[in-house]
Each structure stands twice: as structure tokens, then as C-alpha cells.
Amino acid sequence: MRPANDLLKVNQVRAPRFPFPHVAINKWLAPLRLAARKIQIYRTIRYSEYEIEVKRLRAIHCAVLNEISCSRTIPQTILDVGFGNGVFTQAVSAAFPHSDITAIDTSIPKLSSSENITFIKGSVEQLPFASGSFDLVITVLSLHHWQEKDKGISEIYRVLKKGGRLIIGDPLLEDWMSNRILGLLMQVLDGGTFTDKKRVSGYLNTAGFEDISIRLIPHTMKSLYLITAKK
């Protein structure tokens, strides 16, 4: 059984040598062999060790909350897209008790709307809100589940007020080619479709967003990013 820090070594592994005589073919296949090696390491990690890594994902919640707090003014209307179990939505509610929060997801667990949170069922590709309804839209660990990411981002742009902000926290693949196989594995495990920084930046630009920033979140697995943009 490999030690718990094996996952930290995933991005440090070297691609195994391949017996192809042709240098060009060998070079072309190297990213795929490296991704396959990463999958082998992931498969050796025990569930308890994986659980440790899951705890690191919680750092994404702190990163998004900190980003909201950095705003010059407290957002009065907040939309949380893809709230999941509602835990992060409730954390936002506790941090900003005077904000009016609407949380939307394709399925609603047994959650009751609180004083400043309204849970509704819906899709990011067809948001049931009037244009210019929100000061802030947040989405945490949800982007990779969207069927039409470009359409979802365009819808978010529509419902944001002028000068409104979008904050996304989600895994992104750094290099599409070298992480293709790893991305497919993550898709099987998490049920989503992962994308890369270049495509997300393209979606945001096409929708009309400005001041786009995509940066790695510290103290997390090396694929978690904080994405911010302004209408």
C-alpha cells in the first residue's frame, strides 16, 4: 500500500520509457503515457487517504468566501449556481446575513429556505430570472457538471447587473493533451466533464465578461482554480 502522500507526487512522475524506435512517435505519445501513469497512482490510494484529499477541497470554500469579502461593497443579491448539498450556500448566508441569496440546482435535497436563502430547482443553461437581477453569482464545484458550459456562462452574464461579479471555484485541466486520460478518469469518478483554462477563458470572453482572472488555489490539489470576472 502506498503512503498517503502519493497523490502529492502525481504531478512529479516521469513518463515510462516506450520501446518505439521512431523518436517523433515516442514524443507524441509521451503525454498519454504520463497520464496513464498518473491514473495508476490514483488507483493505489486507499479511501482513507482519498478522504484526506477531499478535506483539502474545502479550501475552495474559503477562497470563494475571501473573494466575496474583498468586494468594495457587500452584494445585496447573490445567486449560487449548483448548490449541491447546500452546505456552502449556508456558509455564505452566515457570512453575509443581510444579503438576499437565491440558490439553484437541477435537483433539490431536503432543504428548507431560510430567512435569507431561497432554494429553487432549475438549470444554469436556462436561468429563470430577469436580466440584471444579481450583484454576484457564485458557483463552487459545479462548472464541470454543466452540459453546455458556454451557454451557462452566457446565462450568468445575462442575469448579472452591470458591474456585477462572477466567482467560480472548480477543477481545471492545465494541459488538455497531457491530462486527457486523467480527465476521463475524473469524469467517471465525479460524473462531470472537465475543461481547461483556455476554454473557460474563451467562454467568459465570448459572453462579454471583463477583468477575467484564473488562478490556482493554494493548499489544494493542483487542479483547483478560482475564476473571477466582471460584467
153-186 confidence digits (pLDDT tens): 999 999 999 999 999 999 887 654 445 555 555 5
Average pLDDT over residues 79-101: 93
Lowest-pLDDT choice from 117-131, 172-186, 193-207: 172-186
- Residue 147 in grid coordinates: 452540459
Dihedral (Cα; 174, 178, 184, 190), 10-degree rounding: -30
- Give the whole-number percent of the chain exceeding pLDDT 90: 47
**Which range in 100-104, 175-179, 189-193 is most confidently predicted, on average pLDDT?**
100-104
- Give pTM, 2 decimals: 0.73
- Structural domains of the chain in order of their starting residue, each with its CATH number: 4-54 (no CATH), 58-230 (3.40.50.150)
Rounded-to-5 percentages of helix, strand, coil across the chain? 40, 25, 35
- Give the whole-number percent of the chain exceeding pLDDT 70: 65
Contact 86, 112 (CB under 8 A): no
